[in-house]
Structure 1
Amino acid sequence: MANHGYLPRDGKRITAWQIVKGLRECYGLTTGFSIFLSYVTWIVLRKVGPVDLYEIGKHNAVEHDASLVHHDTPAGETYAPIEIDRELLDEFVKEARTEVEVDVPSSDPEKTKKEKLSLLTIADVGRARVRREKQSPPLSKFHAEIARGEVAIILGVWETKTKEVTGTRMDWLKLWLGEERLPEGWRPTKQVGMFETMKRAKGIKLASEAVRREEGATPEQ
C-alpha cells in the first residue's frame, strides 16, 4: 500500500487507522473488516501508538513461516526476510492450473475480445499451502489461519468468475507478489468482507486436508 501512496511511502510512524483507510481504499475491504485486521495486528504486536512498517514483519507475531513467496525467518532473527524468493514465486505461479477465456474491452466500445487467463482457485491454494508447509517448521493454529486468510482476502479482491470456475487472475497476483504493485489502472469495484473471507479460508483448509489425505498424511487438526 505504501508503494501506491495509501500509506506513507517512507513506511514511518504508521497508525492503525491509516492501515484501516489503506485497506479500504486500496483493496476495497469493508470498514469493519479493515478495523478488525488493523487493530488485531496492533494487539498482537503489543503496540498502542504508531509503528514503522518493518515492525509488522516481526517473526511469529502476525508474520509466519511457510510464506508462499518468502524464505522462512532464520533462527535468531527478529524480523522476517522481505525479499521475494523468485523460485518460490515461480512454484506458486505453477499452481494455477486452470486456463479460461474471458471477455475484455477492445478498442471498439461496441465490442469485446477474448483473452486467455490462468486462474488460481481455492484448490490450487490448498495444494500450495501443503507444499510450503512441508518445507517449513510447523505453524501454530493461529499462524495457519493467518496464512490461509491472507490469500483468501486477495482471492476475494480479484475474484474472477466464469460458468465453470471461480478464481483469481494469476497475472495480477504475480505482479502484486513479485513487484509489489497493483495492476495498471485497477481500482476496487466491490467490497470484500470478513465472513466471505472466512468462508474462502475454510475452503482452503478443506482443500489442504484433501491433499494431505491423498498423500497419506494426517490432516491438520
Structure 2
Amino acid sequence: MKYYLFASAALFVAGTSSFRLPTDGQLSNGRRASIPAGHPPVHWKPAGPGDVRAPCPMLNTLANHGYLPHDGKNITEEHTIRALKLALNIEEELSQYLFQEALTTNPAENATTFSLDDLSRHNILEHDASLSRLDHYFGDNHDFNQEIFDQTRSYWPDPVINVQAAANAREARVKASNATNPTFALSELGLAFGYGETAAYIIILGNKTTGLVDRSWVEYLFENERLPSELGWVRRKDPISFSDLENMLQQVVNATGNSEDTKLDMIKRGDFHTGRRS
C-alpha cells in the first residue's frame, strides 16, 4: 500500500510536537488517550494454546481482535474480505488480491484457505530484512523481535513518521540484513513486499494524502499486535483502494536511496509483488 510525499510545509509541521489532524484514521498528537466517544467496543485477546499466528503484525492483530478467525486457521476469501473491510475499510478488489497472494503459502494442492502460520514459509511472501522479525537464517522468522524493531524505529526521529523516514528505516533493515546474514537474498517478490509493508502501515494508520503517520500508533501495533484505538486511532471513513496501494508504494520506492534494491520498476498493477501477473 502507499503514501504520497508531502510538501515542504507539511514536512515542517510534521516535525513539531503540536502537529495533529482529525482522528479519522489519520493523526493525533501522539498522546495516550482513551477510546474516542462513540467508538465501537474494542475486543482483543492474544493468541492462546492451539492458535497460530503469522510473521505479519497486521494479520495477527486482526486475528487477536476477532476480525479473522481467532485461531488463525483455515482463513477463507470471505473471511479476508470481511475482516479487511470491517477493521480497516479496505476495498474488496484489494482484499481479493491479498487473499490470492496469501493462498500461495498453503502447501496443499488446490488450496482454498490459508492459515496464518503458512505465511512463515520462507521466500514465498515472508522475506529477509523484516521490520520486526529475524531473518530465516537466524532461526525464528515468525515471532516479533524487539531488537530488530528497535533498529527499525531508530530511523523515526520525530513523533510523526513521514515517507522519507519510513523509507530510510526499511532501507536500513535491508542493509543490516545483507551485512549479517550469509544467506541474505531478496527476490523481486521480497523487494515488493518490503516496499508494500512500509507503505501499508502509513495508509492504514495514517493519512494517505500527506503520507504522515503517528509514530506511537505504528509502534503500538507492531509491539502489541493490537489496533491503537486506545491512542485515538479509528477506522478511516474513506476506503483504501488498489490505487492507494500503488501510489503510496511508489512513493516509498522514490524515497529510497540509489542502492541496488531500488531497481524495482515493476511496481504497478499487473506485476506488483510477484511478477506473476500480466
Does the residue aligned with 2:256 lie in a helix, a strand or coil?
A: helix
Q: Separation in 1 of the partners of 2:222 and 2:189?
A: 23
Cα deviation digits, residues 154-179 of structure 1 (max 9, x gap):
211222489xx641111111011111
> Could you tell me which amino acid in structure 2 is paired with residue 23 of structure 1?
L
Query: Does the aligned pair in 2 maintain the 1:45–1:61 contact within 8 Å?
Result: no
The 5-angstrom pairing of residues 64-143 of structure 1 reads: 64-74=127-137, 81-98=141-158, 118-136=159-177, 137-143=184-190
Query: Does the aligned pair in 1 maintain the 2:119–2:126 contact within 8 Å?
Result: yes
The equivalent position to 1:145 in structure 2, one of 192, 195, 202, is 192
Q: Separation in 1 of the partners of 2:189 and 2:141?
A: 20
Q: Separation in 2 of the partners of 1:88 and 1:170?
A: 16
Residue 220 (1) aligns with residue 262 (2): yes
Quote the RMSD (CA, aligned, Å): 2.3
Instruction: Give the percent of matched residue pairs that are identical in Structure 1 and Structure 2.
Output: 24
Q: 1:194 offset after TM fit, Å?
A: 1.2
Cα deviation digits, residues 165-199 of structure 1 (max 9, x gap):
64111111101111100012633322111112111
Query: Does the aligned pair in 2 maintain the 1:26–1:188 contact within 8 Å?
Result: no
Q: Separation in 2 of the partners of 1:160 and 1:188?
A: 9
Alignment-derived partner of residue 112 in structure 2: 49
Q: 1:127 to 1:38 in 2, by over 3 A?
A: same
Q: 1:219 offset after TM fit, Å?
A: 5.9
Cα deviation digits, residues 70-129 of structure 1 (max 9, x gap):
100127x7xx6222111222222222234xxxxxxxxxxxxxxxxxxx111111121112
Q: How does the TM-score come out when normalised to structure 1?
A: 0.77
Greater relative contact order (Cα 8 A, min sep 6): structure 1 or 2?
2
- Matched length: 191
Does the residue aligned with 1:176 lie in a helix, a strand or coil?
A: helix
Residue 6 (1) aligns with residue 83 (2): no
Cα deviation digits, residues 52-82 of structure 1 (max 9, x gap):
221122111111111011100127x7xx622
What are structure 2's unaligned runs of at least 5 residues? 1-61, 178-183, 264-278
Residue 168 (1) aligns with residue 216 (2): no
> Could you tell me which amino acid in structure 1 is paired with residue 190 of structure 2?
H
Q: Separation in 2 of the partners of 1:26 and 1:158?
A: 11
Query: Does the aligned pair in 1 maintain the 2:151–2:173 contact within 8 Å?
Result: no
Q: 1:18 offset after TM fit, Å?
A: 0.9
